Amino acid sequence: MAAVRFADGDWAEDAEFAAYGAATPALRALDAETAHDVAVAALALGLGPRRRRRDGEALRVEALGTTFSNPIGLAAGFDKDARAFEALLRVGFGFVEIGSVTPKPQPGNPKPRAFRLREHGAVINRYGFNSQGHESARTRLARRRDAVAAEGDDATAEPRGVLGVNLGKNKLTPEDNAADDYVLGVENIGEFGDYIVVNISSPNTPGLRNLQGRKHLSGLLRKVLDARDKNPGTAKTPVLVKIAPDLTDAALRDIASVVKSEKVDGVIVSNTTIARPDAIKAHAHGDEAGGLSGKPLMEPSTKVLHDLYKLTGGKITLVGCGGIASGEDAYAKIRAGASLVQLYTAFAFEGPPLIPRIKRELEECLARDGFKSVQDAIGAAHRK
């Protein structure tokens, strides 16, 4: 991975991020989905700020067979159709996950389908896997591969970062045929990802969460892994599964058993929740259908993460996702067992300046508690 250039100086980075921070309130004046669409369009045009500081050594993580310059990733759902991932990596994320991408294009659920609960740092969405489909994503992802190939060993080029490809199923695909959609994802766009995610936990596609049960999960993952192994372009690509936070203890034990027996490479914990804390119920949008994300998800998703780390003996890579809005939040996930973390809602509220802040705060947390690196802190909450 080539080194980042510093020709413009650190001050230029500070100025760029400050300018984008000042623009964020203008997006808040728009409804949630329109603001999201405007942000993605701007980033796709190359209008995002650019990281110039090299990430500190303490933030580097070795996971999933690759090196992450930092453990802070952007969760799936922001760049659904692979339009802006290059710009998002330049913002300073250690990795970006596109999708969920479905085999065929589909519009998702009727609008409005995203609602801000700003005072709670939360969002409720029921997008329903709106996607332009595999073919559209493949075209965009192929451009990135060609650019990387053309760059070769250019030492002046910027690091490309780590890219995840999150796969979903079409709404009209019967539950019993769901594995076919994920296999198509591996075959059609899996080769472009540094890792692949099987998303079976969105609450906004009818019946999808049923796939988390032992009855479906083992067979589904076996088919996906077989497809991965048979495809020369994906034979060494890690496969992760993304789970819900709304699981019984028995269901979580089943998932742990299946991912171990099927030799899945990792688990993302977690997707949005269908639960509604009392404070959320009292909000004007609190009774909207859909998944709740943001700060209210931090505690329940971290508990599931903590429990899954114990159930898997710390031997499977876990990605902590849900409610992260600070370096302290990211650190809590890492201590609970996450090798990597992802966020989305806080980024939607705060914009690009959030990323350098979280990385700085995470470094402070590590130093405060005597850890030399993120790697040393993984699972610390389980050690006496």
Q: What DSSP string describes 126-184?
A: -----B-HHHHHHHHHHHHHHHHHHHTT-TTSPP--EEEEEE---TTS-GGGHHHHHHH
- Residue 268 has phi, psi (to 5 degrees) of -100, 125
Report residue 237 as tokens. 């690509």
CB 370 within 8 A of CB 56: no
Smallest CA-to-CA distance from 84 within 133, 50, 51, 46 is with 46
Q: How far is CA 99 from CA 144, 148, 157, in A?
A: 16, 21, 26
Residue 347 CB neighbours (<10 A): 24
202 has catalytic annotation: yes
* Choice among 100, 131, 202, 339 that is catalytic: 202
Q: How far apart are the first and last CA of the chain?
A: 37
CB 266 within 8 A of CB 312: no
User: Buried b / exposed e across 90-123, counting CB within 10 Å, b at 16+?
Assistant: bbbbbbbbbbbbbbeebebbeeebbbbbeebbbb
CB 224 within 8 A of CB 262: no
321: helix, strand or coil? strand
Residue 235 CB neighbours (<10 A): 10
Smallest CA-to-CA distance from 358 within 383, 380, 333 is with 333
CB 269 within 8 A of CB 227: no
CB 138 within 8 A of CB 189: yes
Q: What is the DSSP letter of 106?
A: B
Residues acting as catalytic residues: 202
